[in-house]
């Protein structure tokens, strides 16, 4: 396995060789007076208009950025291209004029923005739409498209759940709207809704991937993406009706473009590691703690089970378990190739990518992905008939240990025994410990196939009337298995392979959608109308099966279900989800300065009972460009916009309104197990979210600086709640609508500036900042519900209620807590009144893009101000048989000591034990987890291979999560949960354009 | 010409628009029922599914709730709570709180015991309601299934009342009612259990439906009823119920050899639970057995071993030992098979005739029939290879019974704990050996979350 990686370094070298060859082979015959290559600092730019100033002579650059034009020495050439700054360059006796075009970041009004069912431009849009483009995505060594949004878009908070390959993300667009139903945005890939609910099974993946939440978006290769648009406000999301509440993420893949066939090949190789380990006690410190704990508890003779101090384990061993178990360096490599081109009527694109990487865990584990994506566009000669087809297919394989060793690494005593004995077998040290590496023998593996395809056929019946059908089909098939050989158990149990087990799960999702639409648009004098009307039919079927095999004659057959002596079905699930809607949009523009947008949708969903299948949603948005009529010398563009509307949320499971029995695994005397599925409530319905937004967008100083600020206020009501019930009802909850209300409001700022744009040097910079506020407005019956200890009316949903730590009593050496109700007793229901909010107070990013000649530097600093659970949250009392953060050493030892940590205890001292367990539920476990992180960095050098029409090469060094500045002591400040944090990743690669 | 064409197109457009708008397609949203789910009303219209719903109750008992042989069953939990078992798991594990007597009202195990039991009770109530409303099931089937459901509900309430004291007693399925139920005093709970068991007895037949004594019948109900009478000090009733079983020698004969007692063919068995899979054996065996020390989870308390008399066959046959040369650990070895044996050898035995002898002995003592009591105790002692008991005072015989119950019924569903609790011996026995012991530990706390959601359950049991 390892050797393969070495081979890999050869690849960039061979490309270099290719480049050398291609330079010598470049032909030089018959050049007209002036020629050159036009690039955008990254790659050749085709379609650039070149005009000899004050003449009508002009040409366009081809797909390789190459152009030729006849001009006199005294002429001046004018280069112009949509979205780029116009340049005038004097010929001045030169025959070769290579030009770098600079993006005109502030004139995005001509760049088309995907708004889902329709397109708009930055200038004309009435809604709030954030955007990440290929230019940004390709500069980060990422595996999942969601990573690309981190720190780049206001109002979008993306947190990676785990650094293991294949893990999921938590994405919140403008905060948490729902108490308990899903808060995930709606994902649309090339017009097809993409269900991102995981197909992972907790039976197999639960121990290694948090919540078995395998991100289905891992199937999308980020390099195949042209842009990601994030729809946020009512105006942009109401057309998605009952699914738009939590925002919409539109992913558009790359399209073929007219021009000569263009081939891009890139290849990269890199490493990754955990960048912040916790600081733990070493053996000397640890044993000092343990001995002191026994002394404190008045125990003079170490009990038989205190293996770490009573001499059973070597008192001189010292293992850094974090390094041992999760400290490996990941080797990663990627190769990508893409061809695209076509003529005016038909264009194509074909791309493929393969990547492979190992893991940070001890043991041989790896992830790989092969993906292909394709696009075909065709239009009839009269341009009335158009067809667009796109498809992506990917295969993923993932091999991991069945559990994440992170929490073992934090807890194991540093003098715990060796993992293996002299014979290379797992060492159980006479049953004195649970060998963490036993889990390595228990392997999780997963392979998945994913297809997503979409066809758009449109026909213009009249000049201003178009009919269109958008049809999509896709499937995801995920197979996973976990093997548990008997060897992972302590041999003291006396088990043999008759006890070994294999769990396999097979999950499939297939879905289709068709959306017939009509569009009518007309300009009548100063008035422009654009009306869209459509309907949508969608169906999704999910199937999930799990089988467990137990009892193998030998572990050699552990991968074969047929070799198991006993088979049983863990689950067999098949669900169907159907969706039908009518939607429409009316857009009106007056003189290019006043825009009005009305959108609406009537949705029906099979998830709701017969009485509540349909719901209506809609929004109004308006924009006024006040600079159209009045000219201000320093304001080049100014727009006020606002929107108001209602969207919904139907993210609850399927069939929740039925009263049924479910087959479950309690066979008895030849009967199957039948268990009541749930408490019966046929009446629940959508959550509704009222969204309001007002924003100002302005450009200054000849559009060199642009600034926007948006204020939003969203209130969600009719909360779909899995309302907790006392166990005496037979269930712990019931699905129902509750009159609770949640408000999300906030300010979002964007400032972009062109700091320099000279011939050889350019510097663009932008900063975004989000200030979200979340507030629970109402929650009827909160006091008498299980949520009384979780939510407070008037506070965010993301709070935690804790004991308030008052410190260590200098006399007794034990933690003390604030007695809020003054009854002299610390009780869990009355005295957990300290409130800490764990969601960020503000977050944002600062990105810079600098080019100097052929060099470019891009980096993004991501920052967040927030609090988080620190290193103590999941610890056992300091002094028990469990390692601790090094910070516990500041502890109480004798009366009079002022210390941060209470006296060590083995757990025998009841009072100290109780105080510690309260401590882990107290304000003492909350720390400032604010951070500034060098989220991504790319340094690239661009070589033009030959003078004209030839190839080019880009060499780059990319990194993510490179540096983190934070005072937080509990590991990674962004994600602190006992799973592998996001990794630091450094990649070197080369990209060729041929 | 052009005009007509435009006209025609317009017509198409209108047609299209109309289809788009009019067809709201309510039918499209109809979905097939989910795989693996059956409408509740249909379950009780078919004998197979109705029976399956009742069999699931046994399956739940075996795998998950209260009587499961897993560590989360009362057998292990109350074993470490009392003086039967020592806990060897790692400190900080949830079970440690039971062993150390540091159980708080937010204890996860307590919550599981409570929620699991009430979930089982809900299932029995749903079954009772379903049977009531069934239009197609025969009366015979209805009576059989109703009887079994009532038996299992009573069994669950019996354990709940002993673990928690005053408890709510839901008999229906409406969550609007069940979420606000108040506590019912212990004496009243027993009254209701007795009423239910009597009804179950009247509904069920005298024979086992299956050869293997795996489903409740009249005898099974009588065995539980005898225990309930014992616990409520209704001595003569206890004697009568136990007597009917003991006298039914065609069915129940104490196995002469202790080694045969826990085989699935044992004639001592009154009710046993068939393993989940063919060839599988008991969950008790997988929990208790170990082959090298120190024990991975629990082991018998050494004091218990010392307390056994010389020559007690139960010590050789029902207790296993493992030594590392310096130290020896003992484990319950009543069940000997912890993996698949092709054909199952042992089932988990819930009720057996030995207990009935000891119930009758105790009931007889309390009614002044000392010789009758000695007779019953000696049946058990002699079977174990021991001499007749050497006691003749009431207190002496009671002490002998307690001892005999300990040695006969150890690690069977918390008998030891429930005995020392009902006889007010817990403080005397546990105070010296459990540093965390408090007299209020006699009851477990009502889960904190329950109290919060249903204030009618207040006050919390004292000491929590």
- Say whether residue A463 is in contact with chain B using an 8 A CB cutoff: no
> What percent of chain B lies above the pLDDT cut of 90?
77
**Contact predicate A904/A879, CB 8 Å:** yes
Residue B427: what are its φ and ψ, rounded to 5°? -60, -45
Distance of CA B456 to the CA centre of its chain: 26
Taking one residue from A and the other from B, the number of pairs with CB-CB distance under 8 angstroms is 285
DSSP state string for A666-702? EEETTEEEEEE-----TT---EEEEEEEEEEEEEETT
Chain B residues with CB-CB distance to A789 below 8 A: 452
Domain ranges of chain A: 31-103, 122-282+318-650+684-798+838-874+920-993
Q: Say yes or no to pLDDT of A41 above 70.
A: no
Q: Say yes or no to pLDDT of A235 above 70.
A: yes
pLDDT attached to residue A52: 84
Subunit contact A671:B327, Cβ cutoff 8 A: no
pLDDT in tens, A786-833: 787 789 999 999 999 999 999 999 999 999 999 998 888 888 778 889
Range scoring the smallest mean pLDDT among A85-94, A246-255, A774-783, B214-223: A85-94
Subunit contact A493:B296, Cβ cutoff 8 A: yes
Q: What are A8's two structure tokens?
A: 């890999």
What are the residues facing A520 on neighbouring strands? A465, A531
**Contact predicate A365/A392, CB 8 Å:** no
A122-282+318-650+684-798+838-874+920-993 is classed CATH 3.60.150.10: no
Q: Say yes or no to pLDDT of A783 above 60.
A: yes
Residue of chain A minimizing CA distance to B170: A728
- Say whether residue B92 is in contact with chain A using an 8 A CB cutoff: yes
Distance from CA of B285 to the nearest CA of A (A): 11
Residue of chain B minimizing CA distance to A875: B92
Residue of chain A minimizing CA distance to B273: A668
- Say whether residue B279 is in contact with chain A using an 8 A CB cutoff: yes
Subunit contact B34:A575, Cβ cutoff 8 A: yes
- Say whether residue B26 is in contact with chain A using an 8 A CB cutoff: yes
pLDDT attached to residue A260: 82
- Say whether residue B141 is in contact with chain A using an 8 A CB cutoff: no
pLDDT attached to residue A30: 38
Q: Say yes or no to pLDDT of A182 above 90.
A: no
Q: Which residues of A921-930 are buried (b: 16+ CB within 10 A; e: fewer)?
A: bbbbbbbebb
pLDDT attached to residue A6: 44
Residues of chain B numbered 426-445 and touching chain A (CB < 8 Å): 435-436
Confidence band, pLDDT 50/70/90 cuts, at residue B12: low
Instruction: Name which of B25, B277, B338 is nearest A568 (Cβ-Cβ).
Output: B277
**Two domains, one topology: A31-103 and A122-282+318-650+684-798+838-874+920-993:** no
Confidence band, pLDDT 50/70/90 cuts, at residue A108: very low
Confidence band, pLDDT 50/70/90 cuts, at residue A16: very low
pLDDT in tens, A266-305: 999 999 999 888 889 999 999 999 999 999 999 888 888 8
pLDDT attached to residue B80: 96
Instruction: Name which of A579, A674, A730 is nearest B43 (Cβ-Cβ).
Output: A674
- Name the segment(s) of chain B with CATH classification 1.25.40.390: 43-286+352-457
Instruction: Name which of B12, B21, B104 is nearest A582 (Cβ-Cβ).
Output: B21
- Per the model's pLDDT, the better-predicted residue between A209 and A11 turns out to be A209
Rounded mean pLDDT of chain B?
91
Range scoring the smallest mean pLDDT among A206-210, A345-349, B129-133: A206-210
Q: Say yes or no to pLDDT of B122 above 90.
A: yes
| Strand-pair category, A99-100 with A34-39 | parallel
Q: What are A587's two structure tokens?
A: 């857009």
Residues 6+ apart with CB under 8 A from A952: A37, A39, A43, A44, A942, A943, A944, A945, A992, A993
Instruction: Name which of A492, A829, A914 is nearest B291 (Cβ-Cβ).
Output: A492
Q: Say yes or no to pLDDT of A906 above 80.
A: yes
Stretch A766-785: mean pLDDT: 90
Rounded mean pLDDT of chain A?
87
Burial class of residue B424 in the structure, from the number of CB atoms within 10 Å of its CB (0-12 exposed, 13-18 middle, 19+ buried): exposed
Q: Say yes or no to pLDDT of A197 above 80.
A: yes
Q: Say yes or no to pLDDT of A24 above 60.
A: no
**Contact predicate A233/A597, CB 8 Å:** no
State the first-to-last Cα distance of chain B, in angstroms, to the nearest integer: 93
Distance of CA A621 to the CA centre of its chain: 29
**Contact predicate B20/A534, CB 8 Å:** yes
* Whole-number CA gyration radius for chain A: 31
**ipTM value for the complex:** 0.87
- Indicate the CATH number of A31-103 among 2.30.30.40, 1.20.1530.20, 3.40.50.720, 2.60.40.1120: 2.60.40.1120
Instruction: Choose from A198-202, A307-311, A530-534 the range with maximum mean pLDDT.
Output: A530-534
Count other C-beta atoms under 10 Å from residue B196's C-beta: 22
Subunit contact B20:A534, Cβ cutoff 8 A: yes
Chain A residues with CB-CB distance to B340 below 8 A: 498, 550-551, 565-566
3-state secondary structure of A631: coil
DSSP state string for A207-270? TTSGGG---GGGGS-GGGEEEEEEE-SHHHHGGGGGG-TT-EEEEEE----SEEEEEEEEEEEE
Stretch A676-702: mean pLDDT: 87
Let me know the angle formed at the C-alpha of A956 by A950 and A957, rounded to the nearest 5 degrees.
175
Burial class of residue B279 in the structure, from the number of CB atoms within 10 Å of its CB (0-12 exposed, 13-18 middle, 19+ buried): middle
Range scoring the smallest mean pLDDT among A904-908, B67-71, B309-313: A904-908
Q: Say yes or no to pLDDT of A26 above 50.
A: no
Residues of chain B numbered 294-353 and touching chain A (CB < 8 Å): 294-296, 324, 327, 338-340
pLDDT attached to residue B369: 95
- Say whether residue B181 is in contact with chain A using an 8 A CB cutoff: yes
Quick one: CATH architecture of B43-286+352-457? Alpha Horseshoe (1.25)
Distance from CA of A723 to the nearest CA of B (A): 11
Long-range contacts of A339-343 (CB under 8 A, 24+ apart): A339/A261, A339/A262, A339/A263, A339/A264, A340/A254, A340/A256, A340/A257, A340/A261, A340/A262, A341/A63, A341/A256, A341/A257, A341/A258, A341/A259, A341/A260, A341/A261, A341/A262, A342/A256, A342/A257, A342/A258, A342/A259, A342/A377, A343/A258
Subunit contact A784:B114, Cβ cutoff 8 A: no
Subunit contact A668:B453, Cβ cutoff 8 A: no
Instruction: Choose from A379-383, A408-412, B230-234 the range with maximum mean pLDDT.
Output: B230-234
Cα B121 to Cα A441: distance, rounded to the nearest angstrom: 41
pTM assigned to the model: 0.78
Q: Say yes or no to pLDDT of A163 above 50.
A: yes
Q: Say yes or no to pLDDT of A23 above 80.
A: no
Distance from CA of A607 to the nearest CA of B (A): 9
- Say whether residue A880 is in contact with chain B using an 8 A CB cutoff: yes
Interface test with B, best of A585, A729, A802, A831 (most B CBs within 10 A): A729
Q: Say yes or no to pLDDT of A29 above 50.
A: no
Confidence band, pLDDT 50/70/90 cuts, at residue A972: confident
Stretch A192-218: mean pLDDT: 82
């Amino acid at each position: 396995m390892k050797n393969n990686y070495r081979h890999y370094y050869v690849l960039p070298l061979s490309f270099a060789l290719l480049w050398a060859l291609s330079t010598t082979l470049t032909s030089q015959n018959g050049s007209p007076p002036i020629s050159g290559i036009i690039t955008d600092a990254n790659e050749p730019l085709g379609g650039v208009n070149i005009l000899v100033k004050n003449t009508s002579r002009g040409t366009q650059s081809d797909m390789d950025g190459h152009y030729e034009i006849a001009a006199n020495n005294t002429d001046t050439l004018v280069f112009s291209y949509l979205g780029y700054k116009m340049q005038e360059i004097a010929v001045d006796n030169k025959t070769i004029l290579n030009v770098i075009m600079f993006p005109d970041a502030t004139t995005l009004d001509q760049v088309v923005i995907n708004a889902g069912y329709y397109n708009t431009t930055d200038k004309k849009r009435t809604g709030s739409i954030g955007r990440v483009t290929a230019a940004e995505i390709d500069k980060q060594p990422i595996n999942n498209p969601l990573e690309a949004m981190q720190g780049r878009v206001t109002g979008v908070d993306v947190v990676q759940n785990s650094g293991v390959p294949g893990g999921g993300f938590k994405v919140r667009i403008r905060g948490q709207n729902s108490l308990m139903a899903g808060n995930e945005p709606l994902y649309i890939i090339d017009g097809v809704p993409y269900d991102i609910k995981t197909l992972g099974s907790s039976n197999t993946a639960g121990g290694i991937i948090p919540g078995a939440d395998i991100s289905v978006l891992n199937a999308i290769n980020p390099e195949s993406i042209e842009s990601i648009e994030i729809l946020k406000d009512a105006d942009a999301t109401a057309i998605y009706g009952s699914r738009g509440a939590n925002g919409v993420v539109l992913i558009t893949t790359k399209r073929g473009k007219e021009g000569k066939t263009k081939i891009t090949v890139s290849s990269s190789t890199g490493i990754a590691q955990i960048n912040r380990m916790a600081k733990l006690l070493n053996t000397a410190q640890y044993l000092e703690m343990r001995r002191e704990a026994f002394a404190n508890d008045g125990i003079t003779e170490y009990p038989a089970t205190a293996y770490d101090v009573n001499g059973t384990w070597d008192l001189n061993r010292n293992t850094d378990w974090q390094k041992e178990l999760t400290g490996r360096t990941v080797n990663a490599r990627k190769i990508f190739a893409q061809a695209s081109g076509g003529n005016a009527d038909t264009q194509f694109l074909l791309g493929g990518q393969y990547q492979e990487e190992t893991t940070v865990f001890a043991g041989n584990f790896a992830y790989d992905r092969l993906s292909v994506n394709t696009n075909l566009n065709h239009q009839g000669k009269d341009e009335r008939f158009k067809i667009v087809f796109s498809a992506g297919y990917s295969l993923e394989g993932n091999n991991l240990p069945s559990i994440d060793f992170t929490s073992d690494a934090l807890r194991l005593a540093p003098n715990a025994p060796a993992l293996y004995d002299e014979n290379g077998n797992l060492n159980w040290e006479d049953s004195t410990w649970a060998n963490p590496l036993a889990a390595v023998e228990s392997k999780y593996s997963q392979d998945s196939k994913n297809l997503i395809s979409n066809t758009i056929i449109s026909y213009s019946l009249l000049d201003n009337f178009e009919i269109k059908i958008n049809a999509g089909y896709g499937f995801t098939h995920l197979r996973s298995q976990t093997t548990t050989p008997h060897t992972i158990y302590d041999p003291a149990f006396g088990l043999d392979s008759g006890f070994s087990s294999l769990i396999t799960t097979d999950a499939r999702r297939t879905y289709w959608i068709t959306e017939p639409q009509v569009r009518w648009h007309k300009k009548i004098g100063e008035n422009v109308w654009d009306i869209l009307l459509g309907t949508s039919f969608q169906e999704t079927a999910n199937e999930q099966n799990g089988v467990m095999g137990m009892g193998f004659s030998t572990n050699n057959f552990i991968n074969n279900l047929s070799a198991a002596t006993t088979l049983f079905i863990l689950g067999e699930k098949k669900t169907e989800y159907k969706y039908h809607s009518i939607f429409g949009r009316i857009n009106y523009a007056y003189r290019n300065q006043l825009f009005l947008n009305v959108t609406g949708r009537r949705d029906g969903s099979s998830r709701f009972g017969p009485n509540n299948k349909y719901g209506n949603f809609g929004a109004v948005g308006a924009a006024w460009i006040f600079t159209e009529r009045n000219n201000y010398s320093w304001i080049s563009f100014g727009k006020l916009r606002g929107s108001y509307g209602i969207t919904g949320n139907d993210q609850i499971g399927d069939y929740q309104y039925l009263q049924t029995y479910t087959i479950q695994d309690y066979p008895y005397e030849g009967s199957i197990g039948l268990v009541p599925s749930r408490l019966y409530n046929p009446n629940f319905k959508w959550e509704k979210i009222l969204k309001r937004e007002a924003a100002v967008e302005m450009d200054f100083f000849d559009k060199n600086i642009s600034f926007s600020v948006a204020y939003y206020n969203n209130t969600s009501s009719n909360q779909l709640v899995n309302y907790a019930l006392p166990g005496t009802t037979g269930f712990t909850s019931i699905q129902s609508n509750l009159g609770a209300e949640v408000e999300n409001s906030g300010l979002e700022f964007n400032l972009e500036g062109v700091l320099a744009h000279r011939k050889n040097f350019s510097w663009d910079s932008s900063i975004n900042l989000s200030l979200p506020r979340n507030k629970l407005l109402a929650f009827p019956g909160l006091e008498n519900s299980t949520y009384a200890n979780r939510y407070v009316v008037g506070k965010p949903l993301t709070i935690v209620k804790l004991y308030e730590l008052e410190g260590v009593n200098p006399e007794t050496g034990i933690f003390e807590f604030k007695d809020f109700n003054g009854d002299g007793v610390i009780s869990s229901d009355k005295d957990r009144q300290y409130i800490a909010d764990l969601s960020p107070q503000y977050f944002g990013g600062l990105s810079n893009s600098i080019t100097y000649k052929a060099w470019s530097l891009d980096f993004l600093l991501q920052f967040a101000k927030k609090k988080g659970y620190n290193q103590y949250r999941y610890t056992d009392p300091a002094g028990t048989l469990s390692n601790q953060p090094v910070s516990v050493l500041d502890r109480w030892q004798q009366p009079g000591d002022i210390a941060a940590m209470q006296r060590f205890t083995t757990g025998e001292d009841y009072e100290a034990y109780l105080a510690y367990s309260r401590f882990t539920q107290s304000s003492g476990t909350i720390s400032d987890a604010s951070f500034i992180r060098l989220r991504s960095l790319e340094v690239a050098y661009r070589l033009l291979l030959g003078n004209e029409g030839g190839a080019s090469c880009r060499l780059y060094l990319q990194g993510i999560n490179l540096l983190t500045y934070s005072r937080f002591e509990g590991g990674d400040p962004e994600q602190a949960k006992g799973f592998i944090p996001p990794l630091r990743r450094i990649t070197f690669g080369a990209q060729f354009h041929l | 010409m052009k005009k007509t064409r435009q006209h025609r197109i317009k017509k198409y457009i209108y047609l299209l628009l109309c289809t788009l708008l009019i067809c709201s397609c309510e039918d499209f949203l109809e979905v097939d029922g989910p795989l693996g789910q059956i409408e509740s009303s249909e379950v009780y219209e078919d004998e197979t599914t109705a029976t399956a719903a009742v069999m699931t109750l046994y399956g739940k008992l075996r795998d998950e709730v209260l009587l499961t042989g897993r560590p989360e069953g009362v057998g292990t939990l109350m074993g470490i709570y009392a003086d039967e078992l020592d806990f060897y798991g790692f400190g900080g594990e949830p079970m440690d709180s039971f062993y150390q007597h540091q159980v708080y009202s937010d204890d996860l195990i307590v919550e599981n015991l409570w929620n699991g039991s009430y979930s089982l009770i809900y299932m029995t109530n749903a079954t009772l309601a379903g049977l009531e409303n069934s239009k197609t099931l025969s009366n015979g089937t209805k009576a059989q299934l109703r009887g079994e459901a009532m038996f299992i509900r009573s069994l669950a309430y019996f354990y709940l009342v002993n673990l928690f004291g005053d408890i709510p007693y839901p008999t229906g399925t409406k969550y609007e009612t069940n979420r606000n139920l108040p506590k019912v005093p212990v004496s009243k709970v027993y009254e209701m259990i007795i009423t239910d068991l009597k009804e179950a007895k009247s509904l069920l037949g005298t024979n086992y439906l299956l050869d293997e004594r795996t489903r409740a019948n009249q005898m099974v109900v009588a065995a539980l009823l005898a225990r309930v009478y014992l616990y409520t000090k209704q001595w003569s009733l206890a004697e009568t119920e136990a007597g009917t079983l003991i006298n039914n020698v065609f069915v129940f004969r104490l196995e002469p050899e202790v080694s045969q007692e826990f085989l699935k063919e044992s004639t001592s068995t009154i009710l046993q639970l068939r393993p989940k899979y063919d060839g599988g054996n008991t969950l008790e065996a997988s929990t208790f057995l170990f082959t090298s020390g120190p024990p991975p989870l629990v082991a018998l308390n050494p004091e218990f071993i010392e307390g056994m008399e010389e020559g007690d066959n139960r010590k050789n046959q029902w207790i296993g030992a493992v030594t590392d040369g310096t130290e020896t650990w003992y484990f319950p070895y009543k069940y000997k098979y912890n993996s698949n044996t092709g054909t199952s050898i042992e089932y988990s035995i819930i009720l057996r005739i030995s207990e009935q002898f000891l119930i009758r002995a105790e009931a007889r003592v309390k009614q002044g029939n000392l010789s009758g009591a000695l007779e019953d105790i000696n049946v058990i002692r002699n079977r174990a290879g021991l001499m007749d008991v050497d006691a003749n005072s009431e207190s002496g015989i009671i002490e002998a019974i307690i001892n005999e119950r300990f040695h006969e019924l150890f690690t069977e569903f918390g008998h030891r704990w429930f005995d020392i609790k009902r006889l007010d011996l817990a403080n005397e026995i546990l105070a010296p050996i459990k540093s965390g012991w408090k007299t209020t530990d006699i009851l477990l706390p009502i889960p904190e979350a329950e109290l919060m959601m249903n204030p009618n359950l207040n006050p919390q049991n004292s000491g929590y």
